Structure 1
Amino acid sequence: MEAKKALQRDWSSLPVEVLNLIAKKLSEISDFVCFRAVCTAWRFSTPSTDLLPQFPWILVKHQNKPDLSFYSIPSNKIYSIHASKSLGKWLYGPLEGYMLVNLNYQSLWEFGDPFALTLQLSLLNPLNNHEILLPAYDFEGLPYRFSCMGEYVFSYGYADYQTPKLVFWHLGQDNWCELNLSSDYVNCKHICLKSMIFNVERETGVTKVIDIATGTLVYVIPPIEGYSAVGSEFIVDAFGDILRVFQHDDPYTGLVYDTWFDVHRLEIMENGSPCWVKVDNIGNQAVFVDSYNCFVLRAHDFAGIKRNCIYFLTRISHGEEAPLYGVERIDIMTGAREHLPCPLKEPKSWFVPSLLSL
């Protein structure tokens, strides 16, 4: 009789306080979604804002299909998400729970002359299919790359096929902003961050910092000691600090075991001059790196993230038929590295899952 009563119990009548306690224990987004799908009462008692911050997912390189595949390291699960608005497009990210979406180069040629095409970029949250259209902009010449950094989307191209130009958009702006650069900035890595543009000269490693609002040169930062042009350069906002993360790659192999990182923090000396200072401890933070992006998270906000580490997607081996890719975690202080399981054949980029809409 007691068992029969238990089966007939109306679980939807659980007190809201109890439901909230249960929801806050669900660290995996799939469990949270299933919990909210039980009944109307459970859904309305647990808003999307109750979802715990999620360990970044890994987006696999996708073909011309509307379904995206993501891998979750903590749960060891692959999620297939139907995102029709990503069909035939490139995805970059992450940016505030969204990814930057634009037509891939094959699609550009299908639409005609890509050099005369006005691209329609957007931000897409693949989990709820919410899309934010960016302002239209007539790019003069095909931009070689779009990037997301912090709250900025930017591209580097040429104003008249000779003069270098940065075009950038800040989250919430109504229009793109333009900044024509001198020939001194042709061979530079350009990064928009905290209302500044950091231009790193590839050959010398000198960093020139330009104020976005005025276009004036603010700082010239000397190169880091032992600078090498072989590798990938990232400058990121680390919750108030500005970090320069350099990924050294062996030019002959490009394999994971021939990759290492240096981390520097921007500091202002007593005489007012800026410099990059090498650090081996970034405290309760972790850095995530892929081929295009780099971002920093607070480790204590995310279940499973190890502090003072770098997580990066990389190629482990070339393989006879296809290269083998994986995820590596490196302790910044000790240099100790650990291979993390990843069943994806070709991981493309990190994505921080969120159910919220901007």
Structure 2
Amino acid sequence: MGEPPGKTGRRDAGGTAPAVEDRWTQLPPELLPLICKKLPDSADFVRFRTVCSAWRDAAPLSDVPPQLPWVVERRGSAFQARAHFRFYSPSSGRTYGVRGYGGRSWLVMGGACQEHLVTTVDLSTTALYNPLTGERLALPPAPYPQWRHGVVHVVAAGRRRGGAPLVVNASTRTGHFGYCRQGDTKWTLVDGRQDMGHRAYHGGRFYVNTNAQETLVIDASTGAVESVLPPPPRSADAGAGVSCGDYLVESRGKLIRAVLFPRDGVVTTSAEDYYLNVYQLQEDGKAAAAWAKVESVGDSVLFFDKHGHGFSLEPNGAAELKRDCVYFMHEKRTWLDAGEYRFLCRYNMETGEVDRVVSLPDTFGDTWVVPGLCPSE
């Protein structure tokens, strides 16, 4: 957003500002919320609120319009020290930096929960951290040291949908995982199988995909496997191709599964070479739960990061949050210069194609965070 005209008005020959009415601050109050909802980036929302008190009142922090998430700078080494966090906004093409808390901070691999990052200080204290408000939600100590080689991420809805976030600590070496909520003093451990992949929390249960494309249904209170769902039906265009990703996310009270395939069935050479098969869990109580293929996700926008963590947002055309679309990360490696390039891709369910690709800066692209400006009550 540019500077309001009334803030930088011309001066007369005597050096005094003319008594010109500030037209921006005199806009009809009913127009301000409409303008606010058209802002393309969270940083513009902050600037909007600084114009005057009338504009600030029209843009409460509790009613920030849906925005395209910011991409988080990925870490370099296993425990890279950093005094600040950096984010890239695909909407504006700008990079933002926010100083971390407690001096030197470490971003735990794959850690993001909408507006919170999963961070650890001095390799000991772990917390969910909102980099824009400074809010910290403490987590229990990791159950044993080898979990530092695992992935910490959040699989449940955050407080935007009510309730405390559910944090999952998954070991990439042993297949075990544990979970906790804010206020818990320890992790609840689930002894899993070695072939467990991406997971989601839905209706008091964990749904975990396996290497065989089955889905384990695990009671979150006992850790017991209640049932095993068969693999979803493969479409004719999938052929015998091997999937590039198998993701789970809860959206509008429904559990959604998205399976990413290369179009030629073997390998993808560009971000446009992908297609998605999307399924919804059918659970009517009369028959066994099963995956059913769907051609649309309706008024939802789905996101999946490199680690399989997914979430759903409401559409907002002004912020390029297009309905019935799925956003994912594409990674391209080149042997010539040993380079690694990341792209943000948008898959359009209506056309069945990737219709937008954003090249990300070199050090960004593992996960993303939804800028959150409203502190917890």
Asked if Structure 1 and Structure 2 have the same fold, meaning a TM-score greater than 0.5 normalized by the shorter chain, the answer is: yes
- Find 1:263's aligned residue among 278, 281, 288: 278
**Do the aligned residues in 1 keep the contact of 2:275 with 2:353 (CA within 8 Å)?**
no
Indicate how the Cα distance of structure 1 residues 30 and 200 shifts in structure 2: closer, same or farther if over 3 A, else same. closer
Aligned to 1:111: none
CA deviation profile, 1:147-181 (whole Å, cap 9, x unmatched): 211232112349xx98x6421013x3423342343
The code of the aligned residue for 2:218 comes to I
1:131 corresponds to 2:142: no
Aligned to 1:102: 120
1:197 corresponds to 2:206: yes
The code of the aligned residue for 2:136 comes to E
Aligned to 2:344: 327
The code of the aligned residue for 1:265 comes to Q
Indicate how the Cα distance of structure 1 residues 269 and 5 shifts in structure 2: closer, same or farther if over 3 A, else same. closer
Aligned to 1:147: 153
1:353 corresponds to 2:371: yes
Aligned to 1:4: 18
Between the aligned partners of 1:318 and 1:147, the Cα distance in structure 2 is 29
State the TM-score, normalized to the length of structure 2: 0.75
CA positional deviation for 1:193:
0.3
Q: How does 1:99-248 map to 2 (within 5 A)?
A: 99-102=117-120, 119-139=124-144, 141-143=146-148, 144-150=150-156, 151-157=165-171, 165-170=176-181, 172-181=182-191, 185-189=193-197, 191-194=199-202, 195-202=204-211, 204-226=212-234, 230-248=243-261
SS of the counterpart of 2:19? helix
Indicate how the Cα distance of structure 1 residues 56 and 251 shifts in structure 2: closer, same or farther if over 3 A, else same. same
Larger deviation: 192-201 or 227-236?
227-236
**Do the aligned residues in 1 keep the contact of 2:198 with 2:247 (CA within 8 Å)?**
no
SS of the counterpart of 2:45? helix
State the TM-score, normalized to the length of structure 1: 0.78
**Do the aligned residues in 1 keep the contact of 2:152 with 2:169 (CA within 8 Å)?**
yes
The total of aligned residue pairs comes to 337
CA deviation profile, 1:84-139 (whole Å, cap 9, x unmatched): 45733335343241111236xxx75xxxxxxxxxx422111112232221123432
RMSD: 3.6
Indicate how the Cα distance of structure 1 residues 301 and 149 shifts in structure 2: closer, same or farther if over 3 A, else same. farther
The answer for unaligned runs of 5 or more in structure 1 is 109-118
CA positional deviation for 1:220:
2.1
Aligned to 1:273: 288
CA deviation profile, 1:287-327 (whole Å, cap 9, x unmatched): 21220122222225873211221111212452732233222
Between the aligned partners of 1:121 and 1:278, the Cα distance in structure 2 is 39
CA deviation profile, 1:318-349 (whole Å, cap 9, x unmatched): 27322332222112243222233335124221
**Do the aligned residues in 1 keep the contact of 2:200 with 2:250 (CA within 8 Å)?**
no
Indicate how the Cα distance of structure 1 residues 221 and 132 shifts in structure 2: closer, same or farther if over 3 A, else same. same
Indicate how the Cα distance of structure 1 residues 192 and 121 shifts in structure 2: closer, same or farther if over 3 A, else same. farther
Aligned to 1:30: 43
CA positional deviation for 1:281:
0.9
Q: How does 1:31-50 map to 2 (within 5 A)?
A: 31-38=44-51, 43=56, 46-50=59-63
1:59 corresponds to 2:76: no
Indicate how the Cα distance of structure 1 residues 99 and 269 shifts in structure 2: closer, same or farther if over 3 A, else same. same
Indicate how the Cα distance of structure 1 residues 137 and 48 shifts in structure 2: closer, same or farther if over 3 A, else same. same
Indicate how the Cα distance of structure 1 residues 26 and 213 shifts in structure 2: closer, same or farther if over 3 A, else same. same
CA positional deviation for 1:257:
4.5
**Do the aligned residues in 1 keep the contact of 2:315 with 2:323 (CA within 8 Å)?**
yes
Larger deviation: 47-56 or 305-314?
47-56
SS of the counterpart of 1:323? strand
Aligned to 1:318: 334
The code of the aligned residue for 1:212 comes to A
Indicate how the Cα distance of structure 1 residues 10 and 244 shifts in structure 2: closer, same or farther if over 3 A, else same. closer
Indicate how the Cα distance of structure 1 residues 247 and 303 shifts in structure 2: closer, same or farther if over 3 A, else same. same
- Find 1:308's aligned residue among 294, 311, 324: 324
**Do the aligned residues in 1 keep the contact of 2:241 with 2:266 (CA within 8 Å)?**
no
Indicate how the Cα distance of structure 1 residues 319 and 351 shifts in structure 2: closer, same or farther if over 3 A, else same. farther
Between the aligned partners of 2:333 and 2:190, the Cα distance in structure 1 is 41
SS of the counterpart of 2:329? strand
Between the aligned partners of 1:263 and 1:45, the Cα distance in structure 2 is 39
Indicate how the Cα distance of structure 1 residues 133 and 254 shifts in structure 2: closer, same or farther if over 3 A, else same. farther
Q: How does 1:9-24 map to 2 (within 5 A)?
A: 23=36
CA deviation profile, 1:235-257 (whole Å, cap 9, x unmatched): 11011111111223677667534
Between the aligned partners of 2:151 and 2:350, the Cα distance in structure 1 is 33
Aligned to 1:113: none
